[in-house]
Structure 1
Amino acid sequence: MKAASILVAALSVLCLTQGAPAAETFEDKLVSTPTSPEVMAKGQEIDGYQLAVSAYAWGYPLVRMERVVRQYTDVPSPKPATSYRAPLNQIGWASELATPDAKDMPTANNDTYYMSAVVKLDRPYILSVPDTQDRYYVVNIFNMWQELEHYIGRRTTGTAAARYAIVPPGWKGDLPADVKRLDVTTDKVWLWGRLRIAQGEPVAPVLALQKQFRLEPLGGVASNDEAAALEPLPSIAGESLGFFKHLAAALKDNQVKPVDQALFAQFARIGLTENGFDPSKLSESTRKGLQRGLEDAPDVVVSSLASTAVNRNGWTWATGLDSFGFNYPLRAMVAGSYLGGNGEKEAMYPLRSTDSDGNLLSGANRYVIKFDREPPVNAFWSLTMYDDADKMLVANPIARYKVGTDTQGLVKAADGSITIPVQADKPDGDAAANWLPAPKGNFYVILRLYQPSDEILNGSYPLPQMRKVP
């Protein structure tokens, strides 16, 4: 009986073994890769390359902001009318709309007066805004990562007079009863404002309104407040790895976020730590990878549009500008060419750089954009021309940089449609009334939609085509 049991068990095992498929084997290239000098050099270069690209995409906004806050607090004398620069902790306003000569801001609008204030928060600062009587304005509060933390203005807080306290991290204390508290996450912030002025309207009342925006520290201005200034960033002239030197300097005043600590820890392999940037121990291969990575990283950043934006009838439609999450390349791209951009509920910025056939827009050709009806916005809209080479407005003989809500003499057809010729030379006849002048070379246009309606945001309003014409 015992022998029979043993025999049955053995047969069962045999059947199970014969019926089971053989375990799959996998090639493991890591196990078979030798630790040769050639492999070590190649790996170090690749590691340096990928870490440089990653560190650039992550850290560029911080470097950009630290550079910009110094640039925008360096006030020229005389100060151009299109400039909004001001000393640290003070408000600066442009007193004219941007022109091609205004080089501070790439892709500037031609719809609003710009306001800028760089604030170093050793304590709360009180921003007082006047009653604009429904005139459009917005003041964005950016942290030093170029992240939008608060909106003040027509859409979010209305246009009545009010006071807001911008409160630095960790501050404890009492605020006046009539002040709304706005907490921020970095010790420096950038206030970036826009105040609507329509073409042709009287300028003096709008300039008077600007003066009613006030910024002062809690407790009032002390003598040392007036002399406040930011120390310059270290010189990086002639240094191929200078970006990392500036990033390290910026990190001394701006802590790495807890959610970014694991990513940041990887950069120690290229000499970037909370103590600074030390390239002295880098191998030649790693250094070569870093340099190559810094050269290619801007392409990676710009290409973030391909994965995060959508194409709507040929227009690049990007959202999420006030909620980047972990999309570091998109944050970096916005901090570069589109510094200070609003989130989509405040304003949309569909961008067009190709015609209906997918070819790059060029002043060597002529184009037409036809709106079936005006864009349904709750504020105003404009179609603005930019030179692709420098991202600036385009000089032209009639000093027209955009066509939009306030274009004087704008012609609409009987059915409400608007046809805009887009070309370098002036059109003949009645078409000249809606002409948007283009440069001779490549260009792009941005359709600004301030306070867009749900119809725009959900895509039910069709964006017009850009068609090449004879």
Structure 2
Amino acid sequence: MTTDLTSLATEAYVFGFPLVFNLDQVQRYVTEGVGANPAAPFNSFSHARAMAGPADTFVTINNDTLYSMAQIDLSVGPVLLRVPDTEGRYYVLQFVDAWTNNFAYVGHRATGTQAGAFLLVPPGWSGDAPDDTSATIEFPTRIASIVGRWACAGDHDLASVAALQDETTLTTLDPHARPIGIPQPADSDSDALVFFDKLRLWSQAFPAPERDQQLQAGLTPLGINDADRSIPDVDEEIASALIAGYEHGRALIEKVLHSGGTSPEVNGWKLTFHAFDYNLDFFRTGALDDPRFKIGDPKMRIIERAAAAAGGLWGNHSYEAAYIMTYVDDQGEQLTGARRYTLHLDPTPPVGAFWSLTMYDVPNFFMVENPIDRYSIGDRTPGIVYEPDGSLTITISHDEPADPTARANWLPSPAGDFRPVLRMYEPAEAVLDRTYEVPSIIRV
């Protein structure tokens, strides 16, 4: 019986990890802020005024754009979002529900760059939108995140982006309403039991999609669906199973992260074009209801969702921004700062917006301090040197290269193990259909 409960607890951990990890970060933004993004109450924006760096300890954060984050709690009723005319500048406001489903997009690709107003409404809402509303966006869960990214060309461009950020506003239609927020779990000395009590509380406050309700019902023997008894109060046998399942689940997600799950591998790169395709139910403004971007296997969908949250929380669908990553060199060995490497891009990635290669440590997937404060390199990096044929050779090493061209094209690495991520914003079809290939990272 204990073994069965442990297996069930492992399944519960993988099932619930995106919800718990995500809402922990939502609460972090509301109470503490993250790096360059200061704390901001529900239903208001937190704007980063500088590019992300090592101080921003958020998993796989990008160094391409300025972030504008908003945690939305529609217990207050509808909220009106207004966006400015960016005059062609790339930006995206990505909408992520409590279970990490990307369910809507506003911005360059999805709605254009003209000024607009969008009414954000809670599940099941009916009513009249203001006359100038461009669209009504119904949320799948009461709480969700807006993850905004603004293209920024560098320090000289910060003021222009800040002006656009300040014109991006949220207004609660009922000025007297106050958000309910996120229910707080019971106290416990066990991280595992606190995790599962969060899952118990939050899965009831923010119900999973209907297709997942049967899976949720199967967790009843663990006390997950109990509305009245907290997890730290369960009997000893269940508590032991939950603690064991917590550890097994963590190990499973870590294994999937490093194996790439169902993502194919080409030249050592994990093509995670479909890592965020677990949303099968909610397609609002700008989100594509397209079979190409849906994970069909129900078990793999749950596992991929957990791995995506752990390795790249709030990542976009690949039609908005395609991500690929690698841990290994051309000889199949872990990338490490003890060695020097090159990446020859011929041609450079075909994109409708821009591309970048960003450096992260392992296993945290954070940026790491380096002597030139360069955390990514791409088509907007000042001073990079292309080959006469238009190709580009990037040098990756911990120690600074002596050659001037290699120095101009240098992406510094940590001293230890690392994992670079290549981002392609508004990728061309050649990226998505894999006719464009990124070569292996070559050990020098």
Q: Please give the TM-score of this superposition, normalised by the length of structure 2.
A: 0.89
Question: Gaps (5+ residues) in structure 1?
Answer: 1-43
**Deviation string, structure 1 residues 115-156 (Cα, Å, up to 9, x no partner):** 111111131111100000111100011111010110111011
Residue 128 of structure 1 pairs with residue 90 of structure 2 = no
Match of 1:433 among 408, 411, 426: 408
The number of residues matched between the two structures is 417
Residue 160 of structure 1 pairs with residue 114 of structure 2 = yes
Residue 194 of structure 1 pairs with residue 149 of structure 2 = yes
Deviation at 1:350, TM superposition (A): 0.3
Q: What is residue 378 of structure 1 aligned with on the other side?
A: 352
Deviation at 1:206, TM superposition (A): 1.4
Q: Residue 321 of structure 1 contacts residue 342 of structure 1 at CA under 8 Å; is this kept in 2?
A: no
Deviation at 1:159, TM superposition (A): 0.4
Runs (4+) of structure 1 moved beyond 6 Å? Answer: none
Question: Gaps (5+ residues) in structure 2?
Answer: 281-297
Secondary structure of the equivalent of 1:350?
Answer: strand
Match of 2:317 among 339, 343, 350: 343
Q: What is residue 215 of structure 2 aligned with on the other side?
A: 263
Q: Residue 194 of structure 2 contacts residue 231 of structure 2 at CA under 8 Å; is this kept in 1?
A: no
Q: Residue 271 of structure 1 contacts residue 282 of structure 1 at CA under 8 Å; is this kept in 2?
A: no
One-letter amino acid matched to 2:184: L
Q: Residue 88 of structure 1 contacts residue 229 of structure 1 at CA under 8 Å; is this kept in 2?
A: no
Match of 1:333 among 307, 316, 326: 307
Q: What is residue 23 of structure 1 aligned with on the other side?
A: none
Match of 2:64 among 90, 100, 111: 111
One-letter amino acid matched to 2:212: D
One-letter amino acid matched to 1:238: D
Deviation at 1:200, TM superposition (A): 4.7
Q: Residue 84 of structure 1 contacts residue 114 of structure 1 at CA under 8 Å; is this kept in 2?
A: no
**Distance in 1 between residues matched to 2:108 and 2:231, nearest whole Å:** 48
Equivalent residues in 2 for 1:47-58, closer than 5 Å: 47-58=4-15
Aligned-residue sequence identity (percent) comes to 35
Q: What is residue 185 of structure 2 aligned with on the other side?
A: 234
Which stretch of the first structure deviates more once superposed, 403-412 or 174-183? 174-183
One-letter amino acid matched to 1:331: R
User: Structure 1 pair 269/436, CA: closer, same or farther in 2 (3 Å)?
Assistant: same
Match of 2:417 among 422, 437, 442: 442
Deviation at 1:283, TM superposition (A): 5.3
Q: Please give the TM-score of this superposition, normalised by the length of structure 1.
A: 0.84
**Distance in 1 between residues matched to 2:155 and 2:332, nearest whole Å:** 37
**Distance in 2 between residues matched to 1:199 and 1:357, nearest whole Å:** 36
Q: What is residue 208 of structure 1 aligned with on the other side?
A: 163
Equivalent residues in 2 for 1:62-461, closer than 5 Å: 62-75=19-32, 82-103=36-57, 105-122=58-75, 123-179=77-133, 180-219=135-174, 221-222=175-176, 225=178, 228=179, 230=181, 233-239=184-190, 240-275=192-227, 276-278=229-231, 282=235, 284=237, 286-304=238-256, 306-324=260-278, 325=280, 326=298, 327-430=301-404, 431-461=406-436
Deviation at 1:61, TM superposition (A): 1.3
Q: Residue 273 of structure 2 contacts residue 324 of structure 2 at CA under 8 Å; is this kept in 1?
A: no
One-letter amino acid matched to 1:233: Q
**Distance in 1 between residues matched to 2:210 and 2:180, nearest whole Å:** 29
Q: Residue 75 of structure 1 contacts residue 87 of structure 1 at CA under 8 Å; is this kept in 2?
A: no
User: Structure 1 pair 172/291, CA: closer, same or farther in 2 (3 Å)?
Assistant: same
Q: Residue 48 of structure 1 contacts residue 288 of structure 1 at CA under 8 Å; is this kept in 2?
A: no
One-letter amino acid matched to 2:351: V
Deviation at 1:313, TM superposition (A): 1.4
Q: What is residue 36 of structure 1 aligned with on the other side?
A: none
User: Structure 1 pair 70/439, CA: closer, same or farther in 2 (3 Å)?
Assistant: same
**Distance in 2 between residues matched to 1:467 and 1:320, nearest whole Å:** 26
User: Structure 1 pair 255/389, CA: closer, same or farther in 2 (3 Å)?
Assistant: closer
Residue 59 of structure 1 pairs with residue 16 of structure 2 = yes
Q: Residue 276 of structure 2 contacts residue 305 of structure 2 at CA under 8 Å; is this kept in 1?
A: no
One-letter amino acid matched to 2:201: A
**Distance in 1 between residues matched to 2:339 and 2:182, nearest whole Å:** 48
Secondary structure of the equivalent of 1:362?
Answer: coil
One-letter amino acid matched to 2:387: A
